[in-house]
Amino acid sequence: MIDKLKLIIFTLTALAQLSGLILLFINMDWALQVFIYYSIGLAVLILLLIISKITTKEENPNDYRDY
């Protein structure tokens, strides 16, 4: 479930970035709004990646590679 959500948000942020760059030449107000959506999507994506990294953290108690 969270992998699909990460993929959807990643796709939407990539599309928002590309459309924001295109809209810079057409309408500055729309471009600013799209870049705000892009930054919100990017923040949510980073948060999801951190959460998935924390939840999949499995430590082996017999792992002595650090020493």
Amino acid at 58: E
Residues 6+ apart with CB under 8 A from 23: 30, 31, 34
pLDDT score recorded for residue 64:
75
pLDDT band at 5 (very low <50, low <70, confident <90, very high): confident
Q: What phi and psi, each to the nearest 5 degrees, are found at residue 56?
A: -95, 10
Residue 11, both tokens: 């796709």
**Are 52 and 9 contacting, i.e. CB atoms less than 8 angstroms apart?**
no
What pTM, to 2 d.p., does this model score?
A: 0.74
Residues 6+ apart with CB under 8 A from 7: none
